[in-house]
């Protein structure tokens, strides 16, 4: 067996990188399908979030907009912000699976 040079050591590594690179390159069809699926899930998530927020505004016995904007109710703003984050996390987990 001959001397181990850097070229001899690098050859299998370069071959592995080349083979991995070819198998990891998606085709255009797969890429388009992934983008369309992502857009559909985003649309569904936004619709569910909007519906849930609309239901919340109808359930509460006061105007959320009036309380936050006119009366400067910071506490309600924090609570609504927490509800928005919670809904977003739930919808994200449901879509992600």
DSSP 26: -
Q: Residue 41: what pLDDT?
A: 86
Helix (H) or strand (E) holding 23: helix 6-24
> 3-state SS of the chain: helix, strand, coil percent to 5?
85, 0, 15
Q: Tell me which residue has tokens 């085709």.
A: 27
Q: In the predicted model, is pLDDT for residue 97 greater than 90?
A: no
Q: Residue 49: what pLDDT?
A: 86
Q: Residue 8: what pLDDT?
A: 63
Helix (H, G, I), strand (E, B) or coil at 83: helix
Q: Residue 53: what pLDDT?
A: 86
**Angle between helix 28-59 and helix 74-96 axes, rounded to 10 deg:** 140
pLDDT band for 23, please (50, 70, 90 cuts): low
Residue-wise pLDDT tens digits, 26-59: 677 888 888 888 888 888 888 988 998 899 889 9
Dihedral (Cα; 63, 68, 70, 72), 10-degree rounding = 140
């Amino acid at each position: 067996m001959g001397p181990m040079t850097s070229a001899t050591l690098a050859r299998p590594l370069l071959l592995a990188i080349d083979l991995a690179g070819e198998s990891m390159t998606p085709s255009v069809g797969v890429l388009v399908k992934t983008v369309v699926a992502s857009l559909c899930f985003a649309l569904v998530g936004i619709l569910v979030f909007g519906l849930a927020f609309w239901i919340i505004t109808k359930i509460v016995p006061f105007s959320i907009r009036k309380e936050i904007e006119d009366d400067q109710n910071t506490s309600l703003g924090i609570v609504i912000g927490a509800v928005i984050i919670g809904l977003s996390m739930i919808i994200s987990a449901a879509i992600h699976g």
